[in-house]
Chain A
């Protein structure tokens, strides 16, 4: 009982600490941004950033703007499209590469040559290759997650302890049983890790791709995704909106990672209590 209470207290304390830390951070930011106005001198860097209160005001105004939500929607859609395509192709490919040496020998060299090419380097090429802007952005996002997922799946599947195979075989498992009952579950934790990292990369990539490609060519920042929203705000000189866009991406990425973490621990319940 005592331990439980202690834990509870610790938890709430750490929560409190987090909240205080965020407020202190915001207060310092406000102070820095407004110091020209209040004290007549502009500190470097922070002095040019719009104050949090100004950002909040701009944000509040945007909440009713369907164009802003459209940006959320489009970026999320592109991230999810690229991400799920990467899972759909990457997981089976990685598993097959781990299981079949010949296949691995054929695919791995090409894979290793292509892998160091940053997804963003693909932007011009993919605009040429793919018929629509939408597809080319999704393709670049796909690449962002794809390599990470494949590498993790291959690594996870290859590092399965040989004892698991041996005992499964001894107990009469067929090849397919071994794959389904041993290889798949044993690789799941690596799939989860690869997906989480891959998801982070897709958000990085989608924003940059949208900035470069013009994000589908919507007018006045609406319809172009969050990356284009930021770029458009920059071009339009609305610095508050730039920050709004940045924070929005932070929130979107956080939600995605959190959902993925929940999903991951749902699929790997045996790792919970370690």
Chain B
């Protein structure tokens, strides 16, 4: 297995798909004329196959950016490209949602009325590209790969929240997306489960190199998983600083005790804390 991981770790960019280019994006919410700027002239280049961690205080507008990429919300100006193809931009304020960009939601969006297996098979069934048998065979083998054998016929509500997240990631990967968009998926998990989920996510990533756009406000998580951290300013949101995490992949949890990890923590903690304080006092004023 470690051989596979190393090989995957070496395979960088080039043939990979899923490069996201965010150019000068502005998003203004305008409820009843009271314009609120959520995203302020934000530009960001994410190469294909990168795990890009978007770190910022709660409510800073990170999710707005994610929703714009996914095609759930419009943008006010600027443009977003996926592999040089325009997703949204001038004349097309809202991207079309598609199976090349799948979101893993904060509280999970597995359909509670479908078994885990049916959930995983859902996307391909909808797209109708393959026969039912092929789809379900693929779903079973992907679940087995992710250590989910034996939970196929459970409903999502019957398995632990950690397993649920894994099912959701497998469901997303079934669609063979170019980009996975994570919206604080591990927020509700306890830190022990989280650490297991992080390693599991990396393992899945090494097998299926996709671009990962990962929103979090957990620095530990961000440094452990990411190739790069993009630290966002508090609302309106734009990149404040981009930090390369020069810890080589594949990583495992021993990284957390390494000196470089500590150094990166030290460098970023101050930056993030500053923004968090700003967001906090801004929140007080609003209230």
Contact = CB atoms under 8 A, between A and B. Distances in A.
A44 interface: no
A171 B113 contact: no
B155 to A, nearest CB: 4
Most buried by B among A171, A173, A182, A270: A171
Contacts of A185: 111, 113-114
B103 interface: yes
A209 B107 CA distance: 49
Contact of B111 (A170, A177, A182, A271): A182
B109 interface: yes
A166 B66 CA distance: 12
What 6 pairs across the A-B complex have the smallest Cβ distances? Answer: A171-B123, A163-B109, A185-B113, A270-B155, A172-B127, A167-B109
B157 interface: yes
A254 interface: no
B160 to A, nearest CB: 13
A173 B102 CA distance: 13
Interface of B: 70-72, 97-99, 101-103, 105, 107, 109, 111-114, 122-123, 126-127, 155-158, 175
Given A169-B97, A171-B122, A185-B113, 8 more contacts: A163-B107, A166-B103, A167-B102, A167-B109, A172-B127, A186-B113, A270-B155, A270-B156
Contact of B126 (A166, A177, A188, A273): A177
Contacts of A219: none
A166 B72 contact: yes
A170 B98 contact: yes
B99 A163 contact: no
A163 B181 CA distance: 13
Nearest to B105: A163
Contact of B70 (A164, A170, A177, A273): A170
Contacts of B109: 161, 163-164, 166-167
B97 A270 contact: no
Contacts of B158: 273
Nearest to A274: B157
Nearest to A169: B97
Contacts of A53: none
Given A166-B97, A171-B102, A273 B122 contact: no
A269 interface: yes
11 contacts: A161-B109, A164-B111, A167-B103, A167-B109, A169-B71, A169-B97, A170-B71, A182-B111, A270-B155, A273-B157, A274-B157
A170 B97 CA distance: 5
Contacts of B112: 270
Most buried by B among A161, A170, A188, A270: A170
A166 B103 CA distance: 9
A268 interface: yes
A164 B158 CA distance: 19
Nearest to A273: B158
B157 A270 contact: yes
Nearest to A167: B109
Given A163-B105, A270-B157, A170 B113 contact: no
Contacts of A167: 102-103, 105, 109
A242 B103 CA distance: 63
A270 B111 CA distance: 10
B252 to A, nearest CB: 30
A188 B112 CA distance: 12
A65 B155 CA distance: 50
Contacts of A171: 99, 102, 122-123, 126-127, 175
A170 B103 contact: yes
Contacts of A269: 155
Nearest to B129: A172
A181 B119 CA distance: 11
B266 to A, nearest CB: 36
B175 A188 contact: no
